[in-house]
Structure 1
Amino acid sequence: MRKYIPNQHGAWAMLILPFLFGVAASGGQWIHIPLFACWLLIYLFSFPLLQGVKSGKFKRYEKPLKVYGVLLVPLVIYLVIAEPVLLWFVLPLLPLFAVNLYYAKTKNERALLNDISAIVAFCLIIYPVFYVGQGESWRTATELFLLAVLYFVGTAFYVKTVIRERNNITFYYGSVGYHLLFAAAGLFIFPSLLVPLLILLIRAAIVPKTGISAKHTGMIEIGFSLMLYVSVLGLYF
């Protein structure tokens, strides 16, 4: 199953949270169901594709590519017929995915730029979700896009202080400093979300010192994402 299911727990939060932000900003519509199924399959398809690019062993990942491809094609056709404008939302994803392909090819997927490219790509889903949900305030959608990007970039810094940069004190202070600036910016951009942003700052300062494992880090990050989503629902709207 390792060839079919991505083993990065935190990536699931990046897949789901921006989508839910888009739904919250516009209101749920039935078309969100096939759109999420399509978004999920794109993510699942990209996983063996990137692994194939990294290893050069596409034969090993042929089955998951075929399975996800067969499931994905009819959904893409349906959505394009139902909402042709969705094709325009794909365009900014292409250069971002090209960056991911490059870092997979060079076997340097842990590079921060690669993480940021993936984060922006994941968060851009807010806009097509907002569009098909017939949302009215594009400003709200953009604010939630910025919130999601800033949150996940901070998470990328924080996770590295727990795993690969565990003993890098400079990286640790950079992560804490980023979260401090994030919380400060929240006073002006997301004033109603100051408390959860302060919790994220405390997380960045304390958790790396606990010796937590990579697996548990990804799992509890889902909880922090849920906290942010509930906060957005309860305080932002």
Structure 2
Amino acid sequence: MRSFIPNQHGAWAMLIVPFLFGVFASTPVILHLPLFLCWLLLYLFTFPLLQLIRTGKGERYKKPLLVYGVLLAPLAGVLLMAKPGLVWYALSLLPFFLINCYYARKNQERALLNDFAAVLLFSSIVFVTYQIGGGNDWSAAVSLFSLSVLYFSGTVFYVKTMIREKRNKAFYGLSVGYHIVQAAVMGWMFSLWLLLPAGVLLIRAIVSPRLQPSIKVVGISEIGYAVLMTATVLCLYT
């Protein structure tokens, strides 16, 4: 099952949260359901593809590629017939995916640039879900996209201080500094209410690396932080 189920736990939040931002900032419609299924299958398809590029183990990853590809192709075809403009969105994702392929080939998937490319890629779904839900205030869509990028970029810094850079004091300082700027930007440019989740995230960035919880605890707690951020944003934009 390791060939079928992605082990990048943080990606699940990036898959879901920006999608919800766009859905509830506009109007939930029935087309959002097949769109989410297609979005999920696209992620499940690209995971073994990137692992194949990284390892060259075709025998291990060709089966999940086949299974997810067979499920994805007809669903994507139906969506493109319903919303032909989605083809331009799909093409816009290609540069970010090529960055992911490059780092997979070099076996450097945890590189910062690769992580930020993934953050931009996943956050961009806000524009699609917002438009499909009938949203027409594109300044709101840009705000939601920016909030998603701000939040998940902070998560990138934080998780690295907990795992790969946990003994790197300079990186810890960079993470805390980013979260201070993040809180200031959210409160000043968006809403003072966002200081609530931003403050919690800042405390997390300061305290958690010193407590050194297990990776499992870090992963579970991230679910709570994502729920807090999502609930606050949806209260403001719904």
**TM-score with structure 2 setting the length:** 0.97
* Cα shift at 1:113: 0.3
C-alpha displacement of 1:217? 1.5
Aligned to 1:190: 190
Shift in Å at residue 55 of structure 1? 0.2
CA offsets, 1:62-118, max 9 Å, x none?
110000000000110000000001111112210000000000000000100000001
Question: Do structure 1's residue 17 and structure 2's residue 17 form an aligned pair?
Answer: yes
Q: Which residue is 2:202 aligned to?
A: 201
Contact preservation (8 Å) 1:80, 1:87: yes
Q: Distance in 1 between matches of 2:61 and 2:186?
A: 43
Deviation by residue 1:150-173 (Cα, 9 ceiling, x = unmatched): 110110000000000000000001
Question: Counterparts of 1:3 and 1:219 in 2: how far apart (Å)?
Answer: 23
2: CA distance, partners of 1:195 / 1:25? 20
Correspondence for 2:55: 55
| Other-structure match for 2:217 | 216
Does the 8 Å CA contact 1:54/1:105 hold for their aligned counterparts?
yes
Report the AA paired with residue 57 of structure 2.
Answer: K
Partner of 1:7: 7
1:136 CA displacement: 1.9
Other-structure match for 2:31: 31
Equivalent residue number for residue 231 of structure 2: 230
- Does 2:130 correspond to 1:122? no
Cα deviations across residues 196-215 of structure 1 (Å, max 9, x unaligned)? 11111111111111111223
Kept in 2, the 8 Å contact 1:162–1:208? The answer is yes
Is the Cα–Cα contact under 8 Å of residues 25 and 237 in structure 2 kept in the other structure?
A: no
Q: Give secondary structure in 2 for the equivalent of 1:91.
A: helix
Distance in 2, Cα, partners of 1:61 & 1:223? 32
State the distance in 1 between where 2:14 and 2:216 align: 16
Distance 1:46 1:215 in 2: 25
CA contact (8 A) 1:89 1:127 kept: no
What aligned pairs does 1:42-191 form with structure 2 within 5 A after superposition?
42-191=42-191
Q: CA 1:53–1:39 in structure 2 vs 1: closer, same or farther (change >3 Å)? A: same
Q: Matches of 1:165 and 1:96 in 2, distance apart?
A: 24
Aligned residue pairs, count: 237
Question: Offset of 1:57 from its aligned partner?
Answer: 1.1
Q: Aligned-pair distance for 1:216?
A: 2.4
Residue pair 1:8, 1:218 contacting (<8 A) in 2 also: no
Which structure 2 residue ranges, 5 or more long, are not aligned?
A: none
The answer on whether the counterparts of 2:25 and 2:234 sit within 8 Å (CA) in structure 1 is no
Query: One-letter code of the match for 2:8?
Result: Q
The residue identity in structure 2 corresponding to 1:228 is: M
Please state how far the C-alpha of 1:41 moved relative to its aligned partner. 0.2
- Rounded Cα–Cα distance in structure 2 between residues aligned with 1:233 and 1:75: 28
Amino acid at match of 1:45: F
In structure 1, give the amino acid aligned to 2:98: A
- Give per-residue Cα distances to partners, 1:116-175, cap 9 Å, x unaligned: 001100000111111111112111111010000011011000000000000000000100
Q: Secondary structure at the match of 1:165?
A: coil
Shift of 1:25: 1.5
Aligned-pair Cα RMSD in Å: 1.0
Runs of 5+ in structure 1 lacking a partner? none
Return the alpha-carbon distance in structure 1 between the equivalents of residues 45 and 26 of structure 2: 27
